[in-house]
């Protein structure tokens, strides 16, 4: 009986820990050090398939001649995931028991990570995909999938397919001032193998400011690349 009680206490405690992590990521964060292109852990760039390399080369060539029609963020469409997690603009995390919201300063974009749902939530085809998450101890593990192909992975024009999956492992530093995100991308149509890039955000004391992309670029542009 004593053993049974101990066993139950163990399992109740473990469930409670999964539901109520000690880590509180609520606050405003900003990436420390940015690069226009993804640098994978250990150095270098993601290894592209032939099709991926072709799309990337086309994007780079277009950008070199000043044509950014492949980058719909230039006409205020949402940067996707993981690009929003790689940008240098701040974002706010609101950590709650059943959701974790990421509210990005860039054009006021919202993202809700559902901790009480399993993928897929709906039918996909979203700029930011659909995010579900779970706590592994004090690490928040986010699965995002269900993308459209109108976004890029980074500012340099790295493409992805609609089958991309992104896994983020977010963990606070011991002092709570830094947040480390280990981002893993799987997309066999574009990349020869899964790759991981790890980025760090610093806690900010200044508030998010209102950013209105349509105003920044002088009015919304009813133009699309296709």
Partner 1 sequence: MIKTNLCRVAVAVAIASVSCGVQAQQRPAQRLNNSDDPGLTLTPAIGRVSAEAPAGSRAPTADPRDFEGVWWISRYEYLLGPSAGVPPPLKPEYMTILERRVRAKNRGAPEADASTDCRPHGMPRLMESPYPIRIVQTPGQITFMHEVAHNIRRIFMDQQHPAKLKPNYLGHSVGRWEGDTLVVDTTGLNDKTFIDDEGSTHSEQIHVVERYRKINGGKDLELVMQVTDPVTLTQPYSYTRIYKWRPDVKPAEYVCEENNRNAPENGVTVAK
Residues that bind partner 1 (CB under 8 A): 26, 75-78, 94-96, 99, 101, 103, 107-110, 112, 114, 121-122, 126-128, 207-208, 210, 212-215, 219-222, 224
Pick 56 or 87: Cβ nearer partner 1: 87
Describe the chain by its helix, strand, coil percentages, rounded to 5. 20, 30, 50
Pick 46 or 90: Cβ nearer partner 1: 90
- The DSSP bridge pattern shows strands 99-104 and 91-95 to be antiparallel
Residue keyed to tokens 């779970």: 134
Asked if 5 and 13 touch (Cβ cutoff 8 Å), the reply is: no
Pick 100 or 199: Cβ nearer partner 1: 100
Smallest gap from Cβ 126 to partner 1, in A, equals 5
The helix or strand, by DSSP H or E, that contains position 19, with its residue range, turns out to be helix 2-19
Smallest gap from Cβ 151 to partner 1, in A, equals 11
Pick 95 or 196: Cβ nearer partner 1: 95
Pick 52 or 146: Cβ nearer partner 1: 146
Smallest gap from Cβ 36 to partner 1, in A, equals 23
Look at residue 10 and give its three-state secondary structure: helix
- Could you give the CA distance from residue 100 to residue 95 in angstroms, rounded to a whole number? 5
- The DSSP bridge pattern shows strands 110-114 and 130-136 to be parallel
Segments in the chain forming alpha helices (H): 2-19, 50-64, 83-86, 213-216
Pick 29 or 127: Cβ nearer partner 1: 127
Radius of gyration (Cα) for the chain, nearest Å?
A: 19
At 72, list the tokens.
Answer: 């719909």
Smallest gap from Cβ 132 to partner 1, in A, equals 11
Smallest gap from Cβ 195 to partner 1, in A, equals 26
Smallest gap from Cβ 206 to partner 1, in A, equals 12
């Amino acid at each position: 009986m004593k053993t049974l009680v101990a066993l139950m206490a163990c399992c109740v405690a473990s469930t409670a820990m999964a539901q109520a992590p000690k880590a509180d990521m609520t606050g405003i964060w900003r990436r420390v050090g940015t690069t226009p292109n993804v640098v994978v852990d250990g150095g270098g760039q993601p290894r592209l398939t032939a099709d991926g390399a072709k799309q990337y080369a086309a994007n780079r060539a277009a950008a070199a001649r000043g044509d950014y029609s492949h980058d719909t963020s230039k006409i205020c469409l949402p940067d996707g995931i993981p690009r929003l997690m790689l940008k240098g603009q701040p974002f706010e995390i609101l950590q709650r028991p059943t959701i974790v919201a990421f509210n990005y300063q860039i054009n006021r974009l919202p993202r809700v990570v559902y901790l009480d749902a399993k993928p897929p939530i709906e039918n996909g085809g979203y700029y930011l995909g659909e995010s579900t998450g779970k706590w592994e101890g004090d690490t928040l593990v986010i699965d995002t999938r269900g993308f459209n192909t109108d976004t890029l992975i980074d500012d340099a024009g790295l493409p992805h397919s609609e089958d991309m999956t992104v896994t983020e492992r977010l963990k606070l530093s011991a002092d709570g001032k830094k947040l480390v995100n280990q981002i893993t991308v799987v997309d066999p149509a574009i990349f020869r193998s899964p790759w991981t890039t790890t980025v760090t955000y610093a806690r900010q004391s200044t508030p998010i400011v209102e950013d209105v992309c349509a105003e920044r670029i002088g009015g919304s542009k009813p133009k699309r690349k296709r």
